[in-house]
């Protein structure tokens, strides 16, 4: 006796599920977008760039002049004055430099500070992390470095320095100037108009929002290098070299929002077509405050033009033609 084939039944079942999904979830969105009108409402207009940030600091890496057991006096992130003692190395070891620190030492070269007293030559924040770039990537060199240099940087190259024993010539701590530090980022060149030297930018990291200032801008091909500076203390700023998913927020305000395709020009004046309760439409001027390319935040109820003339404009819940050009 031949078994009945189940494949057609399964296929029909899957097809029904797909149709139900489209009917319940997809079609309402499409039909909403196809509606000829919509109501103006309040909302948030936010302009931001998601990018990678490269941390630049004024910092000095100290290497020990002899080996031994460590005794730390100062914790990570503590602020010290010039001449303060960070730690002591007691006893003696004749071990060789650990391979863990070879990359750091090769990169830092002669710019490391040798110490046998473990006192700091200049004040700053104590940090027990290093990657060897402390002498290469500085506020003086960051403008000259190109994107290919920054793309080679990795947080994986940052190593911890606090440990129970050290060998002669190994890095032991660094001192970072906390009065200002920098974040180098790259954004699309067509977003350059969002930035301006001296402008305040909010930088959102995973666990904190920092207020920064645009320090410098420089075009590189189809990108633009943005260098931000801040004096805000961030507990991880001495440890981090590369920060992924940095949000550079250049605008974040609430107000009346209209779709850009609703905005037309009549006799040189931007505006939208508003529909009244009986279906009649009339042109109403609008003043665009900011746009993200798809939506615009506009003035509410009234505004004054450049000549000081008052204009009545759109209000919340006005019914607007979605695409009056069609």
Taking the alpha carbons of 232, 237, 241, 244 in that order, is the dihedral positive or negative?
negative
Per-residue pLDDT at 23 exceeds 80: no
Mean pLDDT over 272-292 rounds to 95
Residue 269, phi then psi, degrees to nearest 5: -105, 130
Tell me how far apart the alpha carbons of residues 187 and 192 are, in angstroms, rounded to a whole number: 8
What is the pLDDT, as a whole number, of residue 296?
A: 97
CB atoms inside a 10 Å sphere around CB 297: 22
Tens-digit pLDDT profile for residues 174-190: 999 989 999 999 999 99
If you write DSSP's letter for every residue of 116-178 in order, what string do you get? SS-B-SS-EEEE-EE-STTTTS-TTTTTT--HHHHHT--GGG-EE---SEE-TT-EEEEEE--
Tell me how far apart the alpha carbons of residues 242 and 276 are, in angstroms, rounded to a whole number: 55
Within 8 A by CB and 6+ apart from 112, the residues are 61, 62, 63, 105, 134, 135, 171
Percent of the chain with pLDDT over 90: 83
Tens-digit pLDDT profile for residues 99-135: 999 999 999 999 999 999 999 999 999 999 999 999 9
Q: Report the chain's terminal Cα–Cα distance, integer Å.
A: 64
H helices present in the chain, as ranges: 7-21, 27-34, 102-108, 147-151
**In this structure, are strands 171-176 and 59-64 parallel, antiparallel, or unpaired?**
antiparallel
- DSSP letter at 107 equals H
Taking the alpha carbons of 62, 100, 102, 167 in that order, is the dihedral positive or negative?
positive
Q: pTM of the prediction? A: 0.83
Within 8 A by CB and 6+ apart from 184, the residues are 53, 54, 56, 142, 145, 150, 225, 226, 227
Contact 135, 111 (CB under 8 A): yes
What is the pLDDT, as a whole number, of residue 54?
A: 98
**Mean per-residue pLDDT of the chain:** 92
What is the pLDDT, as a whole number, of residue 14?
A: 75
Tell me how far apart the alpha carbons of residues 236 and 240 are, in angstroms, rounded to a whole number: 6
């Amino acid at each position: 006796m031949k078994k009945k084939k189940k494949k057609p039944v399964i296929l029909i079942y899957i097809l029904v599920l797909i149709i139900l999904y489209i009917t319940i979830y997809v079609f309402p969105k499409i039909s909403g977008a196809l509606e000829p009108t919509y109501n103006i409402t309040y909302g948030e207009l936010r302009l931001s760039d998601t990018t990678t940030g490269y941390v630049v600091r004024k910092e000095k890496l100290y290497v020990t002049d002899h080996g031994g057991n460590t005794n730390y006096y100062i914790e990570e992130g503590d602020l010290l004055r010039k001449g303060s003692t960070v730690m002591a190395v007691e006893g003696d070891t004749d071990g060789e430099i650990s391979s863990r620190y070879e990359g750091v030492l090769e990169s830092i070269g002669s710019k490391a500070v040798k110490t046998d007293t473990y006192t700091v030559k200049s004040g700053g924040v104590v940090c027990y992390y290093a990657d060897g770039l402390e002498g290469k990537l500085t506020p003086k060199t960051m403008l000259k470095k190109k994107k290919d240099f920054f793309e080679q940087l990795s947080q994986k190259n940052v190593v911890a320095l606090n440990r129970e024993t050290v060998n002669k010539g190994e890095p032991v701590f660094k001192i970072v100037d906390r009065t200002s530090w920098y974040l180098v980022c790259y954004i699309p060149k067509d977003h350059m108009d969002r930035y301006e030297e001296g402008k305040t930018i909010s930088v959102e990291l995973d666990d904190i929002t920092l207020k920064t200032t645009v320090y410098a801008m420089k075009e590189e091909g189809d990108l633009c290098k943005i260098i931000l500076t801040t004096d805000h203390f961030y507990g991880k700023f001495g440890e981090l070299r590369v920060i992924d998913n940095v949000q550079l927020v250049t605008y974040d305000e609430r107000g009346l929002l209209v779709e850009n395709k609703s905005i037309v020009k009549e006799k040189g004046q931007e505006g939208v077509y508003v529909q009244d309760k009986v279906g009649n439409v009339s042109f109403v001027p609008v003043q665009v405050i900011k746009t993200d390319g798809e939506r615009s935040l506009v003035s509410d109820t009234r505004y004054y033009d450049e000549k000081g003339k008052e204009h009545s404009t759109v209000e919340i819940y006005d019914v607007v033609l979605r695409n009056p050009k069609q």
